[in-house]
A and B are shown apart, each in its own frame.
Chain A
Amino acid sequence: MSEFKQTFNSSLGKKLIMALTGLFLCTFLIVHLGGNLLLFSDDEGYGFNVYANFLTHFPPIEVVAYLLYLAILVHSIYALVLTIKNRRARPVGYAAPNRSPASWSSKNMGLLGSILLLFIVIHMSDFWYAYKYSHKIGYKEYRTDLATDKTTSVDYVPASPNFEKSVSTENNVEIVRVKDLHARVAGSFSNLLYVIFYVIAMGAVSFHMLHGFQSSFRTLGWVHRKYTPVVCFIGTWLFAVIIPLGFAAMPVVYYIQSLK
């Protein structure tokens, strides 16, 4: 076996890969939440639609996106391999339920991760796949009067089905035509079952982060009296509270708006 294989096939090597891919996915959560906060701006989806177009057409982001898909796959596959190995390590189980003190989230990372993988598949096929590879998404035309800075929007039907985006200026009016992902988001989030599923998935994010963020630092061997409490604080308040709440607020707010 080569040295490379020896390192990454060892128990600690596999844990290292879990920790590194996990931390990379954590950074993505911050970026994704930051961008999606545009959903809360009252501009008929202008900011969000332009942002969605930028994400899918700016090459460096596309490269990072493919790294992200790879990280999701590697994190899931290694989790599966490690879980199978861990099960094999105890072929005969205990009769008495385990009463050793350990947090619920730390004992259920596999369940939480499975919920998240299911969520990611559904989420990506509804938005990412629909946006990039289907013609299911309509278009909007935003007209901004540059003198008064007022924007109005109308639905737009392009001549070519492969139209992506155009920006032009006529008579001091800026016209932006872009795919209307915002309408799809609003449509999806008016479905109560869909909203409940999203909120449950964000609950899974919360518990997965509660254990996963600080655990990855332990796996990397970065434990210190000074910064471990900071890591735990960030893992708990930023990743397990603020970020899942921010994401969960989107479907909930859109659902409430759809009732009006």
Chain B
Amino acid sequence: MSTNNNMNLTLKVWRQKNADAKGAFVTYKAEGISPDMSFLEMLDVVNESLILKGEDPIHFDHDCREGICGMCSLYINGRPHGPKRAITTCQLHMRSFHDGETITIEPWRAGAFPVIKDLATDRSAFDRIQQAGGFISVNTGGVPDANVIPIPKVIADEAFNSATCIGCGACVAACKNASAMLFVSAKVSQLAMLPQGQPERYSRVQAMVAQMDEEGFGNCTNTRACEAECPKEITLTNIARMNNDFFSAKLFREEHAHEHASGE
């Protein structure tokens, strides 16, 4: 690796002691940064220098660093996961920036994602939405044969596309309304399209939307910023699908249309 291409950057990083503290931007120099480093490795370098100086390192979320876990975040120069399409911050490389550039790094901003410290936010609102209905109830019994239920290939593919959502929250971060509808609709869709998801299909969508509202996320206005920023390219079609299921559940579905003996 040549050192000739190494870059010197100025970072404007949001620093905040804890959820209740008032935060502010602090400017750091990142010097001798290789263009082959990932964005998180660049932050590691900066943090090492901070630790050596006895300062508190910058806190940011990360885990797999392979772009599949949904843990990393960061709002970089006005875009979640930085300037590149369809990747997470850990897959963003410093060659996407140029020498001497000033990079502004902020945490996800949403009332439902409070800052824990610096750039790390609490995204457990997503977990609660999942727990409200993002599952199928499987009773015990014999293991069914793998291919006993035929599923059209296009449906299986579309369900899988929705299931690729890693729950990072970039959709909320990008949305001008801090709406979580792309996330929720992906989690609704991945099960609504498959046979195993059918028994709970209409109660699921109602429960998950109710929890989403409870968490205080905003309302979708179809600007499509979420779709453009999603590292997994989850499409806006999921939101239309969720709306359709929700209105069906509320207005038309048999299981919700009448009083039932079970009292449900």
Contacts and interface: CB of A to CB of B under 8 A. Distances in A.
Contacts of A161: none
Given A86-B178, A96-B75, A211 B222 contact: yes
Contact of A103 (B106, B177, B210, B223): B223
A218 B235 CA distance: 12
Interface stretch (B45-53, B57-65, B142-150, B236-244): B236-244
Interface residues of A, number: 41
B259 to A, nearest CB: 11
B228 A218 contact: no
B109 A98 contact: no
Interface in B20-58: 25
A98 B174 contact: yes
B172 to A, nearest CB: 9
A219 B243 contact: yes
Interface in B212-239: 212-213, 216-225, 228-229, 236-237, 239
Interface in B56-91: 75, 77-80, 83
Contacts, number: 137
A109 interface: yes
Interface string A63-95: 000000000000000000010011011111111
Interface residues of B, number: 50
A190 interface: no
A102 interface: yes
Given A10-B209, A89-B218, A97-B78, A222 B225 contact: no
Interface of B: 12, 14, 25, 75, 77-80, 83, 104, 106, 109-112, 174, 176-179, 181, 209-210, 212-213, 216-225, 228-229, 236-237, 239-247, 250-251
A86 B223 CA distance: 13
17 contacts: A7-B251, A12-B247, A89-B218, A90-B111, A94-B109, A95-B12, A98-B176, A98-B225, A100-B229, A106-B221, A106-B224, A219-B243, A220-B244, A221-B243, A221-B244, A223-B236, A223-B237
